[in-house]
Structure 1
Amino acid sequence: MNIEPNQFEFCSGCGVKLQRNDSKKLGYVPKENATICQRCYKIKHYNEISSITLEEDDFLKILSHVGQTKSLVLNIVDIFDFEGSLISGLKRFVGSNPIVMVVNKVDLLPRNMNLNKVMNWVKKQAKEYGLNVVDVVLCSAKKNIGFQDVLEVLSKYRKGRDIYVVGATNVGKSTLINRLINDFSDLDEELTTSRYPGTTLNLVKIPLEDGKYIVDTPGIVYTSRMTEIISKHDLQKITPEQSLKPRVYQLNERQTLFFGALARFDFVQGERQSFTCFISNSVYVHRTKLDNADELYENQKGEMLSPPSIKDLETLPLFTKHALRIPKNERLDVLISGLGWIKCNGDNGAELVIHVPKGIKVILRESML
């Protein structure tokens, strides 16, 4: 892969400048003529993540460069964590450049999903968040779903410009770009991809036949997502790998659902109704009485209530409460950013309290499904 300004000056995996002086700093390579840094080598061959990452301010400085270019901006978002993966103030960073929203990981949705309905939902949500996009595409870079649609949109809006790919961490930017590289170029290397956030650390430029570039940018790190604050081991458990299997619970008021020891859902008041949970199939859900919830959590966190383990619990912020009200005759989701969402199915309203580690985003939104 040709990385500007010359082939071996910058890592072809994450984009940082290569150096041989300090193994503890970014860009270290143990030998001459290496094309990827030691950090990317370990990610690629051993799925091992380094603790070396960029601060959020550094990511934003890099992203602000996009507004100084004449380009098409490909904004990748994660359908599993739509609101959590949106970039706040994206228009401020990209200036007058047109934005195409590519909604990735649709393979994680339940198999019987109507994608036209999902498309309409995404467009409505994007408008409500003030995202002025010229088009929206649903895809799965991993499963090659909707990829032809991505190509058609790029062809329609690019008009000879560079393509800047932007998004939050771990939304699948590099996976999507690698599909472009594998299927539509003669390049013999790929970007470094990993399930762990912060893999790409600088601009990585992939040359196109007409002399322009696809530019992969670092992901913005949002600590309001559960995926950013848990351990590597637990990240594997809460990140879905397969289509979600909705789990439906009929609850009476003053009943509680625990999602491992990562979140707690209290149905405080309302008529008996059902709640549908869309979270990774690997996360254990436990139902109990609200009156017993505090004691159960203290006695079983990290054991029956897991993930996380007792050891990993020590690194998480303490729970904080979010009181939510579901109005009558409204279909709403409770999104716990990075963990999933709970669809509220009743017609008579509900009073809820959601407990999550401090700082994690919890919102009410129009039901996706």
Structure 2
Amino acid sequence: MLRTLQVCFRRQVWRSVHSAAAGERSRRATAGAARRTVRRSGGRSCTVDPNLEEQFVFLDCPGLEEDPNEEEQALHQLCISSAPGLGPDPQVSSQKHMRSLERQLQVLKGRALQNSGPDSFIEFQDMDFPLDESIIKSKKKKRAEPKGEHRVFGTPDEDAPVSDTSCSGCGAILHCTATDVPGYLPSEKFKVLLEEGKLGEATCQRCHLITYHHKALNLQVTRDQYRDVVRQIRNHKALVLLIADLVDLPDSIIPDLTDLVGTNKHVVVLGNKLDLLPGDSPNYLQRIKQRLAQYCQDAGFGPQVTDLHLISAKTGYGIEALISSLQRSWKYKSDVFLVGSANAGKSTLFNALLESDYCKSRANKVLQKATISPWPGTTLNLLKFPIINPTPYRMFRRRERLKEALQQTEEELPVDELRRLQRLGRRAYLVGRVGRTFRSDGSRSDEIEFDPDSLAFGENRDGDSTKKAADRSHDELSHNELKDAHWLYDTPGIMKQRDIVHLLQEQEVRLVVPTQAIIPRTFVLKPGMSLFVGAMAQIDFLQGGKSCWFTVLASSRVPVHVTSLDKADSIYKRHAGHALLGVPLGGPERMEQFPALVPQDFSLEGRGYLEAAADITLSSAGWVAVTAAAGEQVQLRVHGPAAAGFGLRMTPLLPHIVSLKGQRVRKSAAYKPLRPAGLIDGLSAAATQRLQVKKKK
């Protein structure tokens, strides 16, 4: 069929060229007669002859079940009908048929547009009678995409070879063969970047959608594939930085860490997302640290733990103390790996360390930041940056910079830093300052640029002094900078077996996963009442002698509803998927896909109205602290999806959280929420207090 079309196309070109002269004379005579007629009648001109039958050319796309002989006959008739002299305007008709043949060839070769339909191959010549603009605009409207799905732009090319370049955002190998495989780029963009040699600077389409459009594409990646990447650490001498999500303890701690990284590794545990947790007492940080150490001990890798830090990779709290500790203890022995469960904040910490004294002074200008998102499994392969060698001189200069930063007042802070602290102070409880002691980009041309990373290697192989390193390009790191260098690696997150995030859609994940400071919401319930945390969890207060306080520590975008136990089922059936319960979204159609709630019964013993008895954990969504009278026996029934992993934490993480409640709302079971004061790390107490006063005003 392709050969037949090519022959017909060449024959049509030859005939159109030789018939152009005769067609031109005929066209001029017809046009002159038409103009004289128009002048006599005073009407508008038209290029369509009403005495001739209008001809349309359609592209035939036969299916697999049609007879191939019929295709050849149709093509033969198409070539005959395109002969000159059969239409009102041979030249226009021939050009029209040639364009149709070109499109047919493109379809057969696989280059036609995916959205082209039969109507796009119809060509009209009514130039003097344009269509109504409203009709044109209505046809140009975008086709509504199904809810929860995103359009994959561009076209794949299955025959194109896979590159050897990794995505700078997630670490996946870049290619253009399949849209649902990690590292996909449209073939139109992939081939251009490959020819220009700029593929190493590109990110895959998935990272682009996550970063700029807050959309996530579903990929065919299994839990075992994530774990296989992390198992590469077993054969290396390395330091493991284990990141645990403090909002999801103890489920965010990997139980079989030794099976993944080996038993011969030193482990530094980092409790991340500390900025989201309110302080329920003056010593709450020490208590959280003790709880985290106990959970690591219960997981079986306690003897390997050499240090433990509480940090916030997002706001920078505790990052400078972590860097100083690593430079003092681990120094420059070997590589460092970030390991943790999905959505624990590894990529955010990777980006924070990339902009700090832990990274070589020029690497942050060359390497791109990792892609971060609230969706689990964003990082698909190993990302890395070179670690700076903490020489005594560098350590001395770093200590001096930290002392000067601690003595700064509010008026001495740079404008950008002051705005950053004020912005983060409204969204977090704990904020830190992360800076750089050495920079390789001088602001004045007459200054001698001092680059400790390059000067530490002395002279290169050619005998030239490394002083020339100040004039080199910022496009890539030199050989001397990478020679004998150690690296910090960001690994893919280990997917948890049970998590509420796996059951939610894209927009629902953004609502459920906390990204700002959690403001506790407290409610008082009597026996026979129920509390809904969205449509994801239902907590029934079955038995108890006195009322109990239920403090919800979850995202403020998830609604909380309190009702009686006998009305709970009807309210869930009527409002699940709607605004009252909020999450999931989408009405009855969405709730048909959402799994049914499975009940679990728990028994608690109250410890008094100043200390919570236990926490009902809601996996990545947070938890609900239950506070009851001392010695009171409380019977609870928790409804939730079986795959969500809801459970009971007998040792509360914030036992005095009930103290952070305001006055009772009149004729309601709710209390007015209160937000405790925060703290800025790396700033004097007086400057921190002045910033807090400004924030309150």
Q: TM-score range by the shorter chain?
A: over 0.9
Which digits, 9 at most, give the CA deviation of each residue in 1:107-152, with x for residues without a partner?
A: 1011555312221222223223333122211111111111112213
Which stretch of structure 1 is more off in the superposition, 39-48 or 56-65? 39-48
Shift of 1:82: 1.8
1:209 and 1:108 mapped to 2: Cα distance?
30
Q: Is the 8 A contact 1:111 1:243 kept in 2?
A: no
| Alpha-carbon distance change, 116 to 38 in structure 1, aligned in 2, over 3 angstroms | same
1:181 and 1:242 mapped to 2: Cα distance?
23
Is 1:134 aligned to 2:286, yes or no?
A: no
Aligned residue type for 1:368: L
Is 1:255 aligned to 2:532, yes or no?
A: no
Question: What secondary structure does 1:134 align onto?
Answer: strand
1:115 and 1:51 mapped to 2: Cα distance?
38
Residue 58 of structure 1 corresponds to 225
Question: What secondary structure does 2:165 align onto?
Answer: coil
2:622 and 2:308 mapped to 1: Cα distance?
22
Residue 257 of structure 2 corresponds to 90
Residue 343 of structure 1 corresponds to 625
Shift of 1:221: 1.6
1:236 and 1:27 mapped to 2: Cα distance?
23
Shift of 1:327: 2.8
1:16 and 1:179 mapped to 2: Cα distance?
21
Question: What secondary structure does 1:282 align onto?
Answer: coil
Q: What's the TM-score once normalised by structure 1's chain length?
A: 0.93
2:176 and 2:634 mapped to 1: Cα distance?
60
Shift of 1:275: 1.7
| Alpha-carbon distance change, 261 to 149 in structure 1, aligned in 2, over 3 angstroms | same
Shift of 1:316: 2.0
The answer for unaligned runs of 5 or more in structure 1 is: 1-6
Is 1:228 aligned to 2:396, yes or no?
A: no
Which digits, 9 at most, give the CA deviation of each residue in 1:314-351, with x for residues without a partner?
A: 33221111111113437211111122111121121311
Residue 192 of structure 1 corresponds to 371
Higher relative contact order (CA 8 A, sep 6+): 1
Q: Is the 8 A contact 2:174 2:204 kept in 1?
A: yes
Is 1:123 aligned to 2:293, yes or no?
A: yes
Which stretch of structure 1 is more off in the superposition, 29-38 or 85-94? 29-38
Residue 268 of structure 2 corresponds to 100
| Alpha-carbon distance change, 244 to 24 in structure 1, aligned in 2, over 3 angstroms | closer
More helix by share: 2
Q: Is the 8 A contact 2:180 2:220 kept in 1?
A: no
Is 1:292 aligned to 2:292, yes or no?
A: no
Higher-Rg member (1/2): 2
2:236 and 2:591 mapped to 1: Cα distance?
44
Residue 181 of structure 1 corresponds to 354
Question: What secondary structure does 2:542 align onto?
Answer: strand
Question: What secondary structure does 2:336 align onto?
Answer: strand
Residue 640 of structure 2 corresponds to 356
The answer for unaligned runs of 5 or more in structure 2 is: 1-162, 390-484, 655-697
Q: What's the TM-score once normalised by structure 2's chain length?
A: 0.50
Residue 27 of structure 1 corresponds to 183
Q: Is the 8 A contact 1:322 1:362 kept in 2?
A: no
Which digits, 9 at most, give the CA deviation of each residue in 1:72-124, with x for residues without a partner?
A: 10111111112221212112211110111111111101155531222122222
Residue 143 of structure 1 corresponds to 315
Is 1:274 aligned to 2:446, yes or no?
A: no
1:77 and 1:119 mapped to 2: Cα distance?
12
2:180 and 2:516 mapped to 1: Cα distance?
36
More strand by share: 1
Residue 581 of structure 2 corresponds to 305
Which digits, 9 at most, give the CA deviation of each residue in 1:193-244, with x for residues without a partner?
A: 1122111111122222451111111111225111222011111111222221
2:620 and 2:509 mapped to 1: Cα distance?
10
Residue of structure 1 aligned with 2:387, choices 208, 232, 247? 208
Is 1:109 aligned to 2:281, yes or no?
A: no
Question: What secondary structure does 1:298 align onto?
Answer: helix
Aligned residue type for 1:22: A
